[in-house]
Structure 1
Amino acid sequence: MAIKLLLVEDDEGDRQGFVQSVARFNHENGVEFEVVPFGTLNETLNALDSSFDCAVIDMKLGDAGGEGNEVLKALSEANVRMPVVILTGTPGEADDRFVHIEVLKKGDADHIEILEDFRQVYASGLTRVMGGRGLVEQSLSQVFRSNLLSQKEAWKRYGQQDPEKSEKALMRHVMNHLISMVDMDEESCVPEEFYIHPPVDNITRTGSVVQSKQNEDYYAILTPLCDLTTRADGEINARKFMLCRIASFDDCVSELPQSKQNSKGRKALKENLERNNKGSYHFLPKTEFFDGGYLDFEALTSVPKAGFHEQFNDPFLQISPAFIKDIIARFSSHFGRQGQPTLTFGDE
């Protein structure tokens, strides 16, 4: 499938120059970019749809300048999900509310580098999953046709009783269908799947990772979900938040006997930690946005909810539901274990 690129540029020379760069890139790299060029704002707005995989947009498309923001606004309102590069002589006109854009100045930017970045994003599957022609859209259509339409009478009743509650329930129901369509093979997971970053909101949940304002250490909230659910009066049942400190590897090493804090002992510890072979720790993988670490089940603290936000920042990230369940299970197992006492027998 060709990578479909939207090119919005009013200058004929600049437009043809970029098209020529695409042709050269395709020839040299064996890639197929399909360029769809437009020279005016109106023809661009009339032709916009969700079929594009990436876009290069000029800001000045008329006498006033800044017309490229109208294209960005239209893409945003249509929920088009793709990388966008603003390539313009007036970069200051780009509206910074559109955070999915990269702003480059004509003359300073390399067309080939732009195309290579688009190619890598496409190869990652990001736009093939999330784009307008992507797997998410295809899966949603399948769930709608095959599952939800046959249940429409039930959902109509729920909507009549409480539209807002019905919408939330339907969102959960659809998400469950999508998850069931994905092969949950943990052996193939990548570290980024472990987290939701940034969180979708500032609500504190089981698995929220927060940073202390006093010492900048990170903690994960392990309070049961039922105690964190907001009641009708806007409050939660929990009187206190239970937090588990996220230790660094050096923190874990310091807990070893002195005789085992050598290179051999450190290596063995790291292997056991990252395989979750030590019951008092749980491994959190490192990503570009989080250094990761090890949940130390023996480094717990309890903070009254009234003073929680004075001591901790808003959630930095959220551990994904599929992984927080495993963490809670291991946490419960660690404190629920009961060793068998040594049995002594009298002389027979």
Structure 2
Amino acid sequence: MDAVLILEDHDSVIKSLTQLMEDIELPLDLIHCKTYDEYEKAIGDEANKKRIKCLIMDLSNNKSEDQSKSFKSIDYINDQYANNRIPIFVHSAYLNTYEGLADRGTVFKVLKTTKSPKEIVDLLKKFYDSGFLDIFSNGGSLENKIMKEVHNSFVEQFKSNEIAQIISSIESAEPADFQARIKEVFERIAIRSVYQNLISTKENSAAVRVNTIEHYYRRNAGCAIWTGDIFKNKESNNHVFIATPRCNLANNNFNQILVCEVNEVDEKKIAEFKKKDGDSKIQRSITDNLVGEKLRFLPRTPQFKGGYVDFVNTYTLDPQIITSNYEYVISLVDDLTNDVVRKLSTYLLRGGIADTHYAEAIYYFQDLFPKPGAIS
């Protein structure tokens, strides 16, 4: 059975957590550790590695730490955060002394009170009931899914002597370090294949419908500034969309960064979304079937409040100004980035005609609209 590991030296807290989980019949074993030795033994047990789906960690686990405010458990928390893929609850009365892993979505800092065990168990139940605990953990569904798709990408991605040709092409261009390049290319082929297969609609199956949060991701590697990034001005909180082409950024071929302002969803638009046909308007905004030529709607998610990329307010910024005066918020995935850039290009390239006197123009249509009582 899956398990929750608790590092806690107070019997009353352990008893409270245990009773709350029993009351809601949450089918998870509890592995109690009162000392660091017990914790190291439990976490190092091979039989537990795929069972443990969540950690509840007290910062202080002996009286000497209460006085010194130097907690050995922080090392364990950091290690598990870096090497495991499970939620970690830091449950302590000393949270004010612990600033590590701030604003990390998989680390939950819960101030220890009489009500805090229920807060933890309620969230734990949400994770269990939703199936979330089994997605990212060791041996979880994502790991199994990825390995299955990686296998498929290996056996289905290549035909005939394609592998040998790919290797030869790399070896001919980079003979000095071709092994590292081969590893890089084939890993990227596999990962790209996995992703594309996951988002592609299968034959005779319902269309794949992504959650709007899947239109965004947080970059954690690569260039400091990249096409599709959203940055926020630290003083004004104004947001901008990075529109400089990827090839220029990748090859450092730029002096200024092309940006478009991102307007907030104002009160007028919020009122429209609240009307009876509001759901339809949100849907049509997401698919860009409502907004108009000078704006591109970005949907709201827990990560990003959304808004409208404004092609009228397009200008350039010095990259140093962006890195010093702005902070990174989120990135649009490639297909949404491409759609925004496509629409920006269309807006900038529109030709237009000389302004027309419309009252005079309407005169020429009068013969198409017979007057009442006239014989046609």
Deviations, residues 181-239 of structure 1 (Å, cap 9, x unaligned)? 31346872222222224755661111111234675421111111111114xxxxx1123
Select which of 29, 34, 37 maps to 2:29: 34
What is aligned with 1:218? 239
Gaps of 5+ in 2: 44-48, 66-70, 202-206, 270-274, 357-363, 365-376
Contact 1:240 1:304 in 2 (8 A): yes
What's the secondary structure of 2:89's corresponding residue? strand
Shift of 1:122: 3.6
Root mean square deviation of aligned Cα: 4.2
1:263-282 to 2 correspondences below 5 Å: 273-277=285-289, 278-282=292-296
1:332 corresponds to 2:345? yes
Q: Which moved more, 1:49-58 or 1:63-72?
A: 63-72
Select which of 264, 281, 290 maps to 2:304: 290
Partner amino acid for 1:132?
Answer: N
Contact 1:199 1:317 in 2 (8 A): no
1:81 corresponds to 2:85? yes
TM normalised by structure 1 equals 0.73
Shift of 1:62: 4.7
TM normalised by structure 2 equals 0.68
Shift of 1:240: 2.6
Contact 1:239 1:304 in 2 (8 A): yes
What is aligned with 2:217? 196
1:1-348 to 2 correspondences below 5 Å: 4-12=3-11, 14-26=13-25, 31-48=26-43, 49-62=49-62, 64-65=64-65, 66-77=71-82, 79-88=83-92, 90-91=94-95, 94=98, 96-97=100-101, 99=104, 100-148=106-154, 154=167, 161=177, 165=181, 168-184=184-200, 188-197=209-218, 200=221, 203-212=224-233, 215-230=236-251, 236-250=252-266, 273-277=285-289, 278-305=292-319, 309=323, 312-336=325-349
Partner amino acid for 1:43?
Answer: E
Aligned length: 321
Q: In 2 relative to 1, CA 309–41 (structure 1 residues): closer, same or farther, beyond 3 Å?
A: closer
What's the secondary structure of 1:287's corresponding residue? coil
Partner amino acid for 1:116?
Answer: D
What's the secondary structure of 1:132's corresponding residue? coil
Deviations, residues 276-324 of structure 1 (Å, cap 9, x unaligned)? 12233211011234321111223311335566546x5143221122321
What's the secondary structure of 1:316's corresponding residue? strand
Comparing both chains, which one has the higher relative contact order based on Cα–Cα distances under 8 Å and sequence gaps of 6 or more?
1
Gaps of 5+ in 1: 231-235, 254-262
Partner amino acid for 1:9?
Answer: E
CA distance in 2, matches of 1:268, 1:43: 56
CA distance in 2, matches of 1:10, 1:250: 51
